[in-house]
Structure 1
């Protein structure tokens, strides 16, 4: 009998997305085939304390199902690099760029990838400005205000006035020192999964997020029992091809490896596609849009996990 690989499923951490991470980790632990793997959880608490010291003797590969700062931004990836332990997902640079909405958009713009109009500013710039409108006057209402380094819709607000802008920016600044304000677009929200190495990634069938109101907030994503996605979604052939092409370009623009989910806005009036963001460690919960796009593409969840682990091991030996 072949010896099973020890897979450390790393979750938690001092991020606002701590609870989402725990849900993702449990789904991974439940689905990993026991004939191939010996999975065990490592839950980092909200203060950043580890329950055990991770060493090459402890695990053959790490599945870092951590979302947000300290887990998805290159910090954990750098730590695992120093330990010399193979790990699932993007490396240090791609994780950092994918997490930072300012750096991410700079990478996309440099590669000619379409993004919505946006501005960004630091907390200090916000405090010293005499008129908040001066910071966003290149945009029109409505706008979306977001912390530059966070996910799962935490700290995100839709605003339609200067007063709402003030409240939204103060909220975003409780999560990060940099705020991004994006132009609102009347659009359908599409998603596409990416799987593979940097040079030859594969793309899943696209899906569509079912937005109950103006946007898909944290409660709708993780607390509601309502359906949140239509997978697969019927699109004009040209649009589906463009979604897949832009997904690969976005993935390669940040130096992606292993796994990513690319989110799009499909503008209703013009038919234009905008890349909203790339998520280098999407949710792996039972409702995960990423896993469901691959299920619809003929890759069941356990097989998806196996392919991700194989990619992690391949990178470590290349």
Structure 2
């Protein structure tokens, strides 16, 4: 079998830039270099592209991922990306792109749209599920349409907050009460999230969230266990066993996820079989609600008072180091990290082939 050349895209103009580097380093070290050659594409925090040379071995450290910054710049990177359209014998051939970009400009459908315009196969969710999975408000509306129970929420834009802050605060207090959680509508990795216990904390939390997005969502507090399920597939998605997050903090914030090393992941989650089955079924429904493809992680609350299952969100580019929940759940289900990478690439090429078979002409 001939080797695939994979463009690995990482970094990005996002508050999750450093998380992306961790993911890229892990993936780079897990590839089977008998099957794949890698071309690194590093995107700086300013949004500039840097293309490295073809690699047939992994980087030796996370900082080495940035060495591509001294390689060819944005124009050269885009020339390779659009090589299927421009052709040319000297063009570097890339079989598919593998975005490992968390957050804005990477997980929100923007780079996926760039790949679509370049006629380039790519790993992971497409434009629509990426955009819907990033916007917590749109996501929740799709969940409601699919009949998935979820916690109460309100949302508003920066402009609405500027003109009607008092009315919005009263609405939150009347509908959700305290404590409540305030989040940027379009961001991940718990960046910009705060827990508000009174009106003053709510105001501060909203102002903080508006540093990261022009739309904010406020959610009611639920005393619940946090359960996560990995989903993999295109038209016939499969769900992993559920896992449980036991946070080291009051809630699963950025430090609890990435820096303090104290949070626990219980895999599989200690659930009775009937409840576990209902959660995995709901994970598939959530995946299909956003018209998912490729990969996704579905996050749930199981309310302690009555064991009700509430969908929290889906993440179309979940953490992907060997110690992240998404690949660990698949390992417990019987799919290794390297096998998971192979399957994600297969799904990307499968989706690309199905779209190439479409007729884009209107000739009758």
TM-score class normalised by the smaller sequence: over 0.9
The verdict on how the C-alpha distance between 1:205 and 1:130 changes in structure 2, with shifts beyond 3 A counting, is closer
2:199 to 152, 156, 162: 162
Quote the offset at 1:31 in angstroms. 0.3
User: How many correspondences in the alignment?
Assistant: 316
Corresponding position of 1:313: 349
The SS at the match of 2:97 is strand
2-side partners of 1:45 and 1:73: how far apart? 17
For structure 1, which runs of at least 5 residues remain unmatched after alignment?
A: none
Decide which of 100, 105, 117 is 1:82's aligned counterpart: 117
For the Cα contact (< 8 Å) 1:29–1:40, is it kept in 2?
no
User: CA offsets, 1:158-203, max 9 Å, x none?
Assistant: 1110000011000000000100000000000000000011x31000
Deviation of the 1:9 alpha carbon = 1.0
Deviation, 1:252, is 0.4
Change over 3 Å in CA distance of 1:37–1:139 after alignment to 2: same
Residues of 1 paired with 2:194 and 2:93: CA distance?
42
Query: What is the rounded CA distance, in whole Å, between the counterparts of 1:139 and 1:218 in structure 2?
Result: 24
CA distance in 1, matches of 2:264, 2:112: 30
In the TM superposition, residue 92 of structure 1 has moved relative to its aligned partner by: 0.4
**Structure 2 residue aligned with 1:103, among 138, 144, 156?**
138
**Mapped partners of 1:39, 1:262: distance in 2:** 29
Q: 1: distance between equivalents of 2:263 and 2:129? A: 31
Residues 116 and 36 of structure 1: is their aligned pair in 2 closer, same or farther, counting only changes over 3 Å? same
Q: Is the 8 A contact 1:221 1:228 kept in 2?
A: no
Alignment-derived partner of residue 207 in structure 1:
243
> What residue number does 1:285 align with?
321
Q: Contact (CA 8 Å) 1:121, 1:179: kept in 2 or not?
A: yes
Secondary structure at the aligned position of 1:277 is classed as strand
Aligned to 1:144: 181
Q: Matches of residues 16-95 of structure 1 in structure 2 within 5 Å? A: 16-51=15-50, 52-53=77-78, 54=81, 55-56=83-84, 57-95=92-130
2:340 aligned with 1:298, yes or no? Answer: no
Q: 2:257, 2:263 within 8 Å by CA — same for their partners in 1? A: no
Q: In structure 2, the residue corresponding to 1:129 is in which secondary structure?
A: helix
Question: Residue 116 in 1 paired to residue 115 in 2?
Answer: no
Of the candidates 180, 185, 188, which is equivalent to residue 225 of structure 2? 188
Asked whether the 8 Å contact 2:99–2:123 carries over to 1, the reply is yes
> Radius of gyration: which is bigger?
2
**Residue of structure 2 equivalent to 1:261:** 297
Give the TM-score taking structure 1 as reference length.
0.97
RMSD: 1.1
* Aligned-residue offset at 1:231: 1.0
> Is the 2:11–2:21 Cα contact (8 Å) retained in structure 1?
yes
Contact preservation (8 Å) 2:247, 2:263: no
In structure 1, distance between residues paired with 2:165 and 2:336? 54
Unaligned runs of 5+ in 2: 51-76, 85-91, 355-364
Deviations 1:130-179 (A, max 9, x none): 52532312112110000000000000001110000011000000000100
| 2:273 aligned partner | 237
Q: Taking structure 2 as the reference length, what is the TM-score of the superposition? A: 0.85
Distance 1:292 1:94 in 2: 23
